[in-house]
Chains A and B, each alone.
Chain A
Amino acid sequence: MNVAAIHAQEFEACQKCTLCESFCPVLQVEPSFPGPKMAGANGARLVHLQEKGPAAVGTLDLCTDCRTCNLVCPSGIKPATLILKQRWQGRSSRVSIIRNSVLSRPDRIGKIISLWPSVVNWTLKQKMTRRVAERVIGIAAARSFPAYAPVTFRRWYARHASALQKQVAVTRKVVFFHGCYANFNRPDLGRHLVQVLENVGYEVIVPKQKCCGLPLSLNGDIEAARNLARDNLECILPYVEKGMPIVFTCPSCASMFKSYYVDVFDLPGAVEVAKNCFDACEFILNQIPEHIKQNAFGPVAMKIAYHTPCHLRAQGIGTPAVELLFLIPAIKLHVLGNNCCGMAGTYGFKAEKYDLSLKIGTSLFQEIKECQPDKVVTDCGTCALQIGENTGYTVIHPIDLLFQALEASRAMVKQVEAAR
């Protein structure tokens, strides 16, 4: 199957209204990017007619795949998806460089690093290492890598699961796709989600899984990315067939399962799995009435600035995290304007895109600094990296905050009991 094949109905409905250009975060700061209308719909038309690869793959690479254009288009065109397909068409003959192999397989890199995380974390912090990285493989020296945790989520979970078996019977089951970020970089986030769900009687199952394939499809080999997707679907589908929902803490992994596995990779079982995929906050808000009833959460007296990741917005579910956080007593929540942070996963790591990535995020960083929150909250791991690095604020996941609010409520209950 030719995954990069472009069909006429994918661009025919474009009215050239340029709405996508009005919202594109790259075009805002980089006028040499042709933009979603030109690169997406128009480019696809040319490719379709001429049946040959686009000449301008270099400029198409400026696209961050934030999918804002897919979201705003009033005619149902998906310019970002069309750009992605053209990139693959143009790149199929190219030799992949070292950087692509580093950036496109966070699961493999994570496995290697997790053998000796403290040493790697130290090494990655060194200026020397970073300069060499920029020279040799083109990863921006100014960019800090996310720290790798000493114990991965999966290792914690294995121990946790065996300890759990002695406890009370569970009533409901849910599958957690942790992705690379929660596994290698933020295992505490995974733990928090597991605890939040177990609290209300869910058993959390963590199946075998690979990287969702998004970094690979943007940086390297589309066929290989499709293979990752196929492997993941094979692991997940049996659970879906048993009626279990799949929960994600990473919006990019979630949007991969929900849209690209179906729309682009066109794999067997993708549609069934997509129907059962939930963003973590979406799941809690809509499937766990225990959590959204009044007084479920204890107070968290903090000023929070919330940033909506592009890949969350693209899912068409609104911003469930915002609705959940508003339920926490004493919280002061400021929802930041819809600005892309510019990180776009691996995009901001690349030496030639680093400046552009900061430029896209400038207005967001400024808004955060003006807001002066205690903490910034966002669902996406790489948005968190970018915001933390450029504003100096601690950035956490909404699930971390929900966990904190549930702990606060438990502490209150204990206090009351002690007083009796």
Chain B
Amino acid sequence: MLKESVQVPAYERTFDIVVVGAGLAGLFTAALLSKMGMRVAVIAKGAGVVVASTGFIDVLRRTPAGEPVEDLKATLSQFKTHWPDHPYGRTGWEALAAAENYLAELLSSIGLKYITPCQTANTRALTPLGTLKQTHLLPASAATTETLKKKSVAVISFDGLLDFNPSLVQSNLAGLFPGTKITWALASLPQRKGSYQSGNVKSLTIAREFDDEEQREILIKSLKEAIPWREKPEVVLVPAVLGLKKHFASWQALRKHLGMEVFEVPVLPPSVAGARLFNSLKSVLDTRKVPVNLNCQALSAGAAGGEVKYIDVASEGKIIRYRARYFILATGGLIGGGLIEVNGQLCEPLCYSPLTGAFRLNYQSFVYNAGVAVDDNLRVQGFSNLLACGRILGGYNPYYEGCGNGIALATAMKISTTLEGETGHECGCYSCAGI
């Protein structure tokens, strides 16, 4: 990787803004900035891990001090005074709320419905294991505690589906909802020649069958047969496989045929709900003519006088130089490759940005809140045109606080506000309309 960085680029490309990274932060930043009429390009090594996620947007499970979050708005508003270096300390509640609204609006414009059951508090939603997790913005079809407050609930999966275990979900739920009768059953998958090696059916295979109206009917019939009607279930939980491209239609058809409420529980990767979210964001960028160039690993940056002039990118066989007025680092943390370890020391290998909390790494005291050091406008310290968003930022621990996706959205929104101010952009777009 590094040995190639000395190569001479074959040619240069010029954009207004180049976003490096195609995770939630990168894609959402590009969506926000493209709205401002700028020429934006996303470059990334791979497709990012939105596809592998549950599709839920968790914003904050507990504060850095370990306190549970009752009122999100009130808690987040305190960040500025208590934890000013935390990304939420810089964005505040407003940027998060605006970002969530905008994301939900974007997704619904292409037929993927997302809801925030409670604006100022977390919602508890079901995980693939049948446990609960605190989240905020989530697919309308997702099962939450509210939807389960019934006398009888049935968990139905498909026989041979690898990525979902209904008996585990049932037994975990039974512990969580002692007042509810919870049962589970398996629906048989229609047999056909050559397909479905036993015990090896993937969630995406079934989701794509739901997209097809004929096959959808067969699957719905088989689900209907599997329901333990004697238990008189009021709600049916199924793995999140109800359609990929035609999710809403599949969900509605199943509800109609069963005559009762149906909700989805996310599955292990490859996650259908994650794929829906990624595809929707990608198609928004497609319609806005934002190139999302994959297999473009950013190798090195050229900076002078605190300004990043270009980023050199490895395509197949050669180096391409991307120039822009602004560069956005959305390259992720240690797992995503935005930060790497060199001789036990953390390092941001693209622009060598200054880090916060960058101690020597060891297993006993891993520094989760290490990351790139930025100012209040998310500008990387020491640079005038380099901004950072998402996991690469320092000052927070997404695993402990349960806030990774919320930070990705809120910091993306903050960046768009910062750049809007600097480029003198004014129009009737959502972010200009006064949020």
Residues of A within 8 A of B (CB): 17-19, 21-23, 27-32, 35, 70-76, 255, 257-259, 262, 271, 274-278, 286-287, 313-319, 322-323, 326, 335, 337-338, 363
Contact = CB atoms under 8 A, between A and B. Distances in A.
Contact of B47 (A19, A27, A278, A318): A19
Nearest to A32: B194
A72 B46 contact: yes
B289 A326 contact: yes
A147 to B, nearest CB: 31
Contact of A30 (B195, B245, B274, B315): B195
A32 B317 contact: no
Contacts of B47: 19, 23, 71-74
A277 B317 contact: yes
A315 B286 contact: no
Interface residues of B, number: 48
Given A71-B47, A316-B296, A316-B315, A31 B286 contact: no
Contacts of B13: 286
15 contacts: A28-B208, A31-B201, A31-B205, A73-B46, A74-B46, A74-B336, A76-B297, A258-B318, A275-B10, A286-B10, A315-B315, A316-B295, A316-B296, A316-B315, A326-B289
Contacts of A28: 204-205, 208
A276 B46 contact: no
Given A17-B269, A27-B202, A74-B336, A275 B7 contact: yes
A315 B204 contact: no
B270 to A, nearest CB: 4
Interface of B: 7, 10-13, 41, 45-49, 51-52, 194-197, 200-202, 204-205, 208, 245, 269-270, 274-275, 282-283, 286, 289, 291, 293-297, 313-320, 336-337
Contact of A258 (B205, B269, B317): B317
A124 to B, nearest CB: 30
Nearest to B195: A31
Tell me if B's interface is mostly helix, strand, loop or mixed. loop
A322 B287 CA distance: 12
Given A22-B275, A70-B295, A316 B269 contact: no
A177 to B, nearest CB: 14
A75 to B, nearest CB: 7
Given A17-B269, A32-B195, A275-B10, A27 B316 contact: no
Given A19-B47, A71-B46, A337-B286, A276 B52 contact: no
Contacts of A17: 49, 52, 269
Contacts of A274: 316-318
A315 B49 contact: no
Nearest to B318: A275
A230 B83 CA distance: 62
A271 to B, nearest CB: 8
Contact of A313 (B196, B289, B294): B294
Q: 6 closest pairs, A vs B, by CB? A: A274-B317, A316-B315, A316-B295, A258-B317, A72-B47, A74-B46
Contacts of B196: 31
Contacts of B270: 18-19, 21-22
B293 A31 contact: no
Contact of B317 (A29, A257, A287): A257
A323 B41 CA distance: 12
A314 B245 CA distance: 24
A27 B195 contact: no
A35 B315 CA distance: 25
Contacts of A335: 286
Contacts of A71: 46-47, 294-295
Contacts of A258: 315-318
A322 B288 CA distance: 13
A192 to B, nearest CB: 22
Contact of B46 (A30, A75, A257, A319): A75
